[in-house]
Amino acid sequence: MPVPESAISTPAVGLAPRRLAWEVLEAVAAGAYADVALERVLRGQTVSAADRGLATELAYGAIRRRRWLDAWLDRLGKVPALKQPPRLRWLLHLGLYQLLQMERIPAAAAVNTTVELAKRHGLGRLAPVVNGLLRSALRAHEAGESLPLPSDPAGQLALLHSLPDWFAGELLRWCGAEQAELVARACNQVPPLDLRINRLRSTPEAVSAALSAAGLETSSIEGCPDGLQVLGSGGDLRQWPGFEEGLWCVQDRAAQWVAPLMEPQPGDRVLDACAAPGGKATHLAELMGDCGEVWAVDRSAGRLQRVAANASRLGLGCVNALAADAGDLLQDRPQWRGAFQRILLDAPCSGLGTLARHADARWRVTPESVAGLLPLQARLLEAMVPLLAPGGRLVYATCTIHPAENHRQIATLLKAQPSLRLISEEQRWPDPTGGDGFYAAVITTSGVPT
């Protein structure tokens, strides 16, 4: 029903989380990463868990839906979105997102708080514009009106799901209309919270029971034997049962699929060549029964501290952290030639399989930035081959869905290295029901895989 004028003119409540979300949108527009911007604006703030959650949902949702929201501004406003004053544009995005995407936010609250933010934070003279545009959006929404769509399939996919044109067009080429629609939907979902259970210390059933007793319900994840999905939210997860005891860690279900492909055995020497923050390195250690050596290598000494901290909390003693360039390992450590039975190269990539998780990534990744990653990936792949023991396994994994970063890299490697044999490769697409997009290829040297 229409928002009464009295609702618009009454003092606003719930401004704090909306103001924080607005600050995140402005910071991202200025070049900040969304997660870093959110952490920065929340630091030092005294906000409830509910307000923190609302600020996160508003900021990430409006960033994901930026193109779609701009299209509504173009349709409803007298000034096109790209010509709006930036602060006003992002504020209108917040209001429109609440009105058009969030059923749990009353229309009066969405309009009222957005207008009040304009009045209190330097846009007072534009408050009538905010009020009028949001009320127009509400009328259009209640009337079931929609945006006019481009005539071409790629343009329609891009506008409806707020994707860059180039990515929508490529999606259709890569996987066809039906799968592209599912991937596009997945890009705008709030990703579920998945846990990986440390089998050396507990079981999914025991962790599920402990979390349930604390008011946190979980469900099993199909095809993910060590995983649990947490249903709902429950504040700081570091306070949840089992965290301090190292019974579980947070890891997306698709990422949990990678380490078992290596089939690590107790006593193996394993290399995780681009390891930080350590989710797969610790998974490998768990699968090996913490017996053997896992060398977690990363160029960032700071990020390796997280690897060491995670391994310590999970009670894993076989993980060794080494700050180094994986592409130079043989040069720096010639004794490592042929020394590893298992090697994981979780390569630096465009992250196109994780757009739901990284709200601003779709606006950063370009065909040019993807092309710039290809030489690095190829260099790292080539550098892994001499480190692999005869009959060992090399797994090349990425969290992207771009063929040039995935099977084309592997095809090029196999053509250049006749001694290698492809055991398997699989592309997992982002799933609207949960799970990032991931690719993995399993390669062995000549001979029988160990």
Known catalytic residues? 399
Mind giving me the DSSP string for 269-304? EEEETT-TT-HHHHHHHHHTTT-SEEEEEES-HHHH
Rounded distance between C-alpha atoms, residue 351 and residue 273, angstroms:
17
Considering only CA atoms, give the Rg of the chain.
24
Partners of residue 239 on adjacent β-strands: none
- Positions of E strands within 299-407: 319-323, 340-346, 388-398
User: Which position has the token pair 């790292």?
Assistant: 380
Rounded distance between C-alpha atoms, residue 37 and residue 167, angstroms:
25
Q: What single letter denotes the amino acid at residue 160?
A: L
- Sign of dihedral through CA atoms 337, 338, 341, 342? positive
Q: Where is 133: in which H helix or E strand?
A: helix 127-142
- Phi, psi dihedral angles at 105 (to 5 degrees): -95, 120
- Give the CA-trace dihedral at 35, 38, 44, 48, to 10 degrees: -110
Rounded distance between C-alpha atoms, residue 381 and residue 327, angstroms:
8
Partners of residue 231 on adjacent β-strands: 217
By CB neighbour count within 10 A (0-12 exposed, 13-18 middle, 19+ buried), where does 382 fall?
middle
Structure tokens at 331: 């040069």
Please state, as a whole number, how many other Cβ atoms lie within 10 Å of the Cβ of residue 78. Answer: 7
Q: What single letter denotes the amino acid at residue 39?
A: E
Q: What is the DSSP letter of 47?
A: -
Rounded distance between C-alpha atoms, residue 219 and residue 378, angstroms:
39
